[in-house]
Amino acid sequence: MENAELKHIDALLAKARSPEEVFGPLEGSAEEKLAAARKVFLHIAKAVHPDTVTGAKEVKRAAAAFKKLALYWEQAQAKISCGNYGKADAAASFTPFTLHTQRSQYTLERLLTRGDLCNLYVGSTLDATGKKRVLLKVPVRPQDNDLVLNEARVLKHLRAGAGYAAARPFLSELVEAFPYEERETGIVRQMAVLSYMEGLFSLQEVRAAYPCGIDARDMAWSWRRLLIALDFAHTNAVIHGCVLPTHVLLHPEQHGVILIDWSYAVLDPVHTHAWISALSTAYKAWYPAEVFAREEPRPGLDIFMAARCMIDLVGGDPLQRTMPDSVPWQIQNHLKGCTLPHPHQRPQDAHVLLQEFDELLARLWGPRTFHPFSMPGR
């Protein structure tokens, strides 16, 4: 028998062209808008999640509907966080165009997402090997040009670091950075061109697709790879400073993990005495107290925020440091130890932490084996 509610919601999602058409008008502060939108998301998710239906046809329809819902939920959060919810959708009116630099030319094809400080555009360029996919990062306000410049500086530093070849798959790769002057306004924006590949999902998207959280074994491989990225950064005197669900990307089929958005990163804080000078307003509550106290950032800051991402990923509460009973207590204790409130109580060495986690996994599940993971509708 056909699921009438699923059919109705699927039709509505198919017609929608913006998150506003899914979540409706939202009033109040950004926090109130997020809370209201989350209620709508959870209500719809219960009706269209593939695990709630039976029959191959219905499961396929539910998977497709849930994928659309997760996408609109991601867009709604981004628009609310940067104050654009309810305004005309720039993505719908975006017209592709080409930028020329001294090194290359880039065709901006579509708006991928709007963030707190920067917009991301998917584009392409031609090199000796043919067409190459890229991501162009453009600050919303020219006052934030320094953040894009900082990311370019940090990525260049990391590229010259010891062990880069092994760490490369886990990091953003800078293609080029350049200033761009808008003809109409004369405003100069600093742009960064980054490598890009299809099939990536942010942890925020993964969490939206799995309201109850993912299997602890899938979290385990994600955590291992994230620790490799952090170990490389810390070994080369870089603190990322903003390890959040929007800045960690997973490639389900390849079990890939990429740590992106190094705009907030601090280079060599031990000697420069620099602190984290900008933060994500949408995730303000995720930061530890030392960030607001402008203390010298240490590796444990990144480990703290990364562990919160993993707690969230398994369906837990990252702020309360609680996780479902389905997560082995050994893993729960491991992640809780990374999120202790005082920075001196937390692990500070990602390499040692990875070794300890590998030993924990061996005791729990024996030799590592490939655990298939996919996103709904894939």
Contact between 75 and 19 under an 8 Å Cβ cutoff? The reply is yes
Q: State whether 116 and 212 are in the same domain.
A: no
- pLDDT score at 119: 83
Torsion-angle region of 377 (φ positive above 0: left; ψ -120 to 50: alpha; else: beta): left
Torsion-angle region of 144 (φ positive above 0: left; ψ -120 to 50: alpha; else: beta): alpha
Q: How far is CA 274 from CA 50, 56, 288, 296, in A?
A: 47, 56, 17, 7
Helix intervals (H) in the chain: 4-15, 19-23, 30-48, 56-81, 145-159, 164-167, 203-209, 216-235, 269-272, 289-292, 299-313, 329-338, 350-365
Instruction: Using DSSP, state whether 314 is helix, strand or coil.
Output: coil
Q: Is residue 177 part of a domain?
A: yes
CATH number for the domain that contains residue 245: 1.10.510.10
Nearest in space to 211 (alpha carbons), one of 52, 349, 4: 52
Q: Is residue 35 part of a domain?
A: yes
Q: State whether 224 and 326 are in the same domain.
A: yes
Torsion-angle region of 173 (φ positive above 0: left; ψ -120 to 50: alpha; else: beta): beta
Q: State whether 225 and 245 are in the same domain.
A: yes
Structure tokens at 377: 């509708």
Q: State whether 261 and 358 are in the same domain.
A: yes
Q: State whether 159 and 205 are in the same domain.
A: no
Q: State whether 212 and 361 are in the same domain.
A: yes
Q: How far apart are CA 118 and CA 238, in angstroms?
A: 21
Q: Is residue 87 part of a domain?
A: no
| Residue that terminates a domain, selected from 195, 221, 250 | 195
Q: State whether 74 and 120 are in the same domain.
A: no
Q: How far apart are CA 211 and CA 207, in angstroms?
A: 6
Q: Helices 56-81 & 4-15, crossing angle to 10 degrees?
A: 40
Q: Is residue 89 part of a domain?
A: no
Q: State whether 102 and 176 are in the same domain.
A: yes
Q: State whether 212 and 184 are in the same domain.
A: no
**Radius of gyration, alpha carbons of the chain:** 21
Bridge partner list, 259:
171, 248
Query: Which distant-in-sequence residues (6+ apart) come within 8 Å of 188 by Cβ?
Result: 142, 145, 179, 180, 181, 182
Write out the residue range of the structural domain in which residue 242 sits.
201-365
Q: Is residue 242 part of a domain?
A: yes
Structure tokens at 61: 């329809």
Let me know if 11 is exposed, middle or buried by CB neighbors in 10 A (0-12, 13-18, 19+): exposed
Structure tokens at 280: 């994500």
Q: State whether 76 and 147 are in the same domain.
A: no
Compute φ and ψ for 122, nearest 5 degrees.
-85, 130
Q: State whether 189 and 323 are in the same domain.
A: no
| Residue that terminates a domain, selected from 29, 56, 81 | 81
User: pTM of the full predicted structure?
Assistant: 0.76
- If one counts the domains in the chain, the total is 3
**Average pLDDT for consecutive 10-residue bins of the chain (378 residues)?**
75 79 86 88 85 79 81 77 64 70 86 77 82 88 91 96 94 92 83 89 88 93 97 98 93 92 94 90 91 95 98 95 96 98 95 97 92 78
